[in-house]
Amino acid sequence: MERRSYRNPVIPGFHPDPSICRVGEDYYVVTSSFEYFPGVPIFHSRDLTHWECIGNCLTRPSQLSLAGCSPSKGIYAPTLRYHDGWYFMTTTNVSGGGNFIVYSRDPRGEWSDPVWIDQGGIDPSLFFDNDGKVYFSSACGDGQGRNCILTCELDPFSGRKYGESRVISYGCGGSWPEGPHLYRIGNLYYLMLAEGGTEYGHRETMQRALHPYGPYEPCPYNPILTQCGDMRGRVFCTGHADMTEDGKGNWWAVCLGVRTCGSAAGSVFLHNLGRETFLVPVRWTEDGWPICGEERRTDLCMEGLLPAAQEAGCLNFRDDFSAGTFSPRYSWLRNPEKENYHRLPAGKTLYLRGTEVTLNEAASPTWVGIRQPEFVCTATVRVRLAPHEDGVHAGLTAYYNNSYHYEIYLTYTAGEYRVEFARHVHDLYVVTAGASIGAEEAEHIRLRIETGRNVYRFSYSTDGMVYTELGSGMTAGLCTEGTATMTYTGTFLSMYAEHGSAFFSDYEVLADVSE
């Protein structure tokens, strides 16, 4: 093995709350999905730096109900574990049901229906001890209003508890102790926690004990991971980590972090891509405590003893709709109405049947797309409206949630075809630009979104070569820090239809990683 440099984040875009497990030479990561369907994307890697989305754990309505789910609710932080031939994923649906477990023999295949757990809180985690006991932990309250970590023993296949849940920790002094993960290393049990909230005070702490139920002593070097006080200004908010060993004595942690979109000196802290997944090496002190990263810090370029030669990776996404199924990188808003989405491989098109539900509602409009993977991207698609459906809107949207989105779309109203640009920020929704086009031009129109650190630009072309800019919107309008309520997600680049139907072809999102 040799030290190799790698680029962070290893899973860019909206992929928060990562959890990792190793099975032989294979590594798997799951991340949160909130109000998006399917739930809990799962990634595979052999080199720890290039990750492929191989599926989603929650792909059926019986596993994931998002009806009435508010923005940034739904599925919170998952944990992934492997034991005795089975993969287990536990998470919380905060919009209905609480904590549950699903399991599978094949992480690329179907997962079980939920096994519901009679223990409240969020951020559940599983720990399989050497003696066969299985421990379930979650971040909860103790009945007197104090945030704590609850733990119980259970059967992960049935959810049956063996005894009452017990408080094992109140954290190490930071607010909101959460994201608990238990590990047995040698004869000691280590409890890893996220503290300080998931914003700019985020950090990771460690405790250890002789028994899973404690008592736990705090690490004298806490926090073992944080960006607090880091003046480099490249990565922020690191925390919610999970660790694994590579089978050769080297330890690694994945954690969430934030890259701010402002690049100029003195810019405010704003991020639009969401919380992303970072990889940091872990070293152990002589007295047996883990320290993550470069003296507790994470950076955009790091190095370590990676377990395998790095594979080629690409963030670009293309779909000509010649295949009969959707890529696992696609997401829908809440539970989609499947009859509104039809891939037509023979014609290399996607048919979207828009309903009266619009992007401005916390519901499930006809909408499908991928997470914006980098600050600088170009998203394009060709759109053709179904004949003579008055009032239809069909196009591309840069979407954060129902109160924060920009879109460019083709519309047909009162016998006229138009391309229009609209913005929704807070409680203001307005069409700010438009252009009339002919019926023949409408048959060949392409729409484009060019994303940037400071501005999104929206344009159209009738010949596929020359694009006319129709409008722009500040990136700040799609940033987490500017929303009216607490939010945890990131921007998507998506196709959509409202009030009528349309055919889409040649959808692509090209990312510029050099910026």
User: Cα dihedral sign for 191, 197, 199, 202?
Assistant: negative
Alpha-carbon separation of residue 323 from 40, 341, 350, 495 (angstroms): 23, 14, 10, 17
481 φ/ψ angles, rounded to the nearest 5 degrees:
-70, -15
Cβ atoms of 268 and 233 closer than 8 Å = no
Q: Mention every residue, 6+ apart, whose C-beta is less than 8 A from residue 154.
A: 117, 134, 135, 136, 160, 161, 162
Q: Facing residues of 441 across strands?
A: none
- Distance from chain centroid for Cα 513: 19
Q: Could you say which of 17, 47, 195, 498 is catalytic? A: 17
- For 475, the 3-state DSSP assignment is helix
Q: Mention every residue, 6+ apart, whose C-beta is less than 8 A from residue 122.
A: 76, 77, 92, 94, 99, 138, 139, 140, 178
The DSSP letter of residue 85 is T
The token pair at 385 is: 């409206």
Distance in angstroms (rounded) separating the CA atoms of residues 363 and 361: 5
Number of alpha carbons in the 13 Å side-chain half-sphere of residue 477 = 24
21 φ/ψ angles, rounded to the nearest 5 degrees:
-145, 155
Distance in angstroms (rounded) separating the CA atoms of residues 226 and 17: 15
Closest by alpha carbon to 343, among 366, 359, 320?
A: 320
User: Scanning the structure block, which residue is given the tokens 């190799």?
Assistant: 4
User: Scanning the structure block, which residue is given the tokens 């591309």?
Assistant: 396
Distance in angstroms (rounded) separating the CA atoms of residues 117 and 167: 16
Distance in angstroms (rounded) separating the CA atoms of residues 193 and 214: 14
Which element (helix H / strand E) includes 439?
helix 439-442
299 is catalytic: no
Tell me how many degrees the CA angle 226-229-231 measures, rounded to the nearest 5: 110
N residues, the chain: 515
17 is catalytic: yes
**Exposed/middle/buried for residue 333 (C-beta within 10 Å: 0-12, 13-18, 19+):** buried
Q: Facing residues of 58 across strands?
A: 39
Cβ atoms of 119 and 180 closer than 8 Å = no
Q: Could you say which of 35, 123, 178, 242 is catalytic? A: 178
Buried b (16+ CB within 10 A) or exposed e, 347-382: eebbbbbbbebbbeebebbbbbbbbbbbbebbbbbb
Q: Mention every residue, 6+ apart, whose C-beta is less than 8 A from residue 514.
A: none
Catalytic residues: 17, 178
